[in-house]
A = this chain, B = another copy of it.
Amino acid sequence: MITIKEIAQLAGVSYSTVAKALKNNPLVKPATKKKITDIAEQHNYRVNILASRLVSGESKLIGVVLRSVNNPVFSNLALQLNEMLQERGYQMILSVSSDGIPLFNQLCVDGIIYWGDSLSVQSLKAEVFESSRTPTIILGSYVNEHIPSIQIDRKDGIFKAVEHLVSYGHRRIGLIGDSQSVKLNAYRDAVSCYKLEHSSEFVVQAHASWEDGYLALKNYAFHSGSPTAFIGINNLLTQGALRALIERGIHVPQQLSLIGYDDVPEMEHADVPMTTVGPVIKEIAQSATEAIIALIKNHKPEPEQEIWVKPVMHHRKSVGPVPSGKTSVT
């Protein structure tokens, strides 16, 4: 990489003049400037971000920490964030490591966006966030009131899903997956709010992966009092559950209705195009971009205005009316 000193030599000026010319400082005489920029271009000059950041304190770099990148939600989000940050003049770099926050701090990026589902955030202690000297926001989760975050109203999402099923006449609604307490609690609240039937076996124990959903429904013991509809707590798990149902010859939605959390293209492409509830990923990316830039500009976060993203229902084909005796699973 050519440096400003080398350009200065080639142009026969001092290196501070080169610095000014390259920063479009209007004080530089046009002829001088042209000579300098020509040489720079010819040698493919690019400012050394390290040196520049070291003195100016600005790198125009945003670090995004993306845990569990295997989930399609994350890759969709990464693409959206990249585009929006670039539009605002920032470059995005990604880390999938659990050390992403300290790493970006060391790298002195201008801002950090941490995407964490509830699981990955619990595994990080609040100190990690609080010790971050860089403006940092958490996306999709919440640690404590000192750390700015964009939250997803998952409770609202679960309520919307339950409401939708209720509108189709379902009174026995189950939940597949018990690993996310927000969704589990929301489910319980909704059940009691709508005075639906409930039973401990309506909550199917399962963590979060495709396999978890598959195994959960592969061996689920249906009987006359079983749910007529299920909500899956995320996209992968719901797809696994659907596969298990199909293998068992249980028709969705004729015999059982299913709503999956998270709206990603894969859900639309499932065996049965899935009705989903979930945040619009573009909206999350948009909020995150604006929030982090505001935080960088202000240095101190705004007087704690909380940002919430509301999930949205996407109606497709996995929800139907309550099966009659003839069509029910048992």
Contact = CB atoms under 8 A, between A and B. Distances in A.
B86 A75 contact: no
Contact of A94 (B44, B46, B94, B210): B94
Interface in A272-295: none
A88 interface: no
A92 B93 contact: no
Contacts of A75: 69-70, 74-75
Nearest to A85: B97
B246 A269 contact: no
Identical copies in the complex: 2
A229 interface: no
A124 interface: no
Given A94-B94, A271-B246, A106 B48 contact: yes
B94 A239 contact: no
Interface stretch (A29-37, A50-58, A195-203, A253-261): A50-58
Given A75-B75, A131-B44, A269-B210, A93 B91 contact: no
A99 interface: yes
A321 interface: no
A96 B269 CA distance: 24
Contact of A106 (B47, B69, B92, B243): B47
Contacts of A246: 271
A77 to B, nearest CB: 10
A46 B49 CA distance: 19
A99 B69 CA distance: 21
Nearest to A44: B131
A108 interface: yes
A102 interface: yes
Contact of A69 (B50, B79, B103, B269): B79
Interface in A231-245: 239-240, 243
A86 B97 contact: yes
Q: Which of A46, A51, A69, A92 has the most CB of B within 10 A?
A: A69
A57 to B, nearest CB: 11
A95 B95 contact: no
A51 B54 contact: yes
Interface string A93-115: 11111010011011110000000
Nearest to A76: B70
A297 interface: no
A248 interface: no
B99 A210 contact: no
Interface in A16-47: 44, 46-47
A151 to B, nearest CB: 25
3 A-B pairs closest in CB distance = A94-B94, A50-B50, A49-B106
29 contacts: A1-B133, A46-B105, A48-B54, A48-B106, A48-B108, A49-B106, A49-B108, A50-B50, A50-B53, A51-B54, A54-B54, A61-B107, A63-B93, A69-B75, A70-B72, A70-B75, A70-B76, A75-B75, A79-B96, A91-B95, A91-B103, A92-B95, A92-B97, A93-B94, A93-B103, A210-B265, A239-B269, A243-B269, A246-B271
Given A70-B75, A74-B75, A92-B97, 11 more contacts: A50-B50, A50-B54, A91-B97, A91-B103, A93-B103, A94-B96, A210-B269, A240-B269, A243-B269, A246-B271, A271-B271
